[in-house]
Amino acid sequence: MNPLINVTGRDKFGNGKGEMAIKVFSLIPVVNAGNNEKVNQATLQRYLAEIVWFPSAALSPYISWKPLNDNSAQATMDYNGTTGSGVFHFDLNGNFQKFVAMRYKDIKDTIPKEWTVSMIKSEIQNGIKIPVECEVSWLLENQDWRWLKLRVKNIQYNIK
């Protein structure tokens, strides 16, 4: 997209349902999707990827784990009728490297596409080692399309 255009977005998962909203200049809707099985699953998978910032969420009774090899495990989450999964990859020391899921990019998609969250840099914040720089990409027509580069500047846990 044109770097001069301000785009805001929200990807929400709650009570087993998902919503996606993207607006140009925070006013003009470009995407407004919800109440759809594909959106529900895609937002659940995004939630799964984000547990790297809240590691205790990995212990949720809604998430089951299946080891794939010494450095990866598949997480499957089933919550209020919505199920999704993805694979977490770790280095030899057990540090998060990437999360890969077959995810719907659009409600018009007939098959999901490979979606990857890759860790670029990690730090210890509030006593917990988390990724603080990540890139998010879709595999489209055998080519990665990086659509998001993010940086966590501050994270707080157990705020009263």
pLDDT at 2: 52
| pLDDT under 70: residue ranges of the chain | 1-5
**Distance, CA of 90 to CA of 119 (rounded, Å):** 10
Bridge partners, 89 (sequence order): 72, 98
**Pairing assessment for the beta strands 82-90 and 72-79 based on DSSP bridges:** antiparallel
Whole-prediction pTM value?
0.88
Predicted confidence at residue 107, as pLDDT, reads 86
Give residue 20's Cα distance to chain centre.
13
For the stretch 17-62, pLDDT in tens is 988 777 888 778 777 777 799 999 999 999 999 999 999 999 999 9
Phi and psi (nearest 5°) for 50? -80, -5
Chain-centroid distance, C-alpha 101: 9
Measured CA to CA, the distance from residue 91 to residue 67 in angstroms comes to 14
Per-residue confidence (pLDDT) for residue 142, from 0 to 100: 87
pLDDT of residue 61: 97
Q: What pLDDT score was predicted for residue 3?
A: 58
The reported pLDDT for the residue numbered 9 is 77
pLDDT, position 65: 98
Q: Please classify residue 69 by burial: count the beta carbons closer than 10 Å to its beta carbon, then call 0-12 exposed, 13-18 middle and 19+ buried.
A: exposed
Q: Sign of the CA dihedral 117, 53, 20, 61?
A: positive
Q: Which H helix or E strand runs over 119?
A: strand 113-125
Q: 99 and 116 in contact (C-beta within 8 Å)?
A: yes
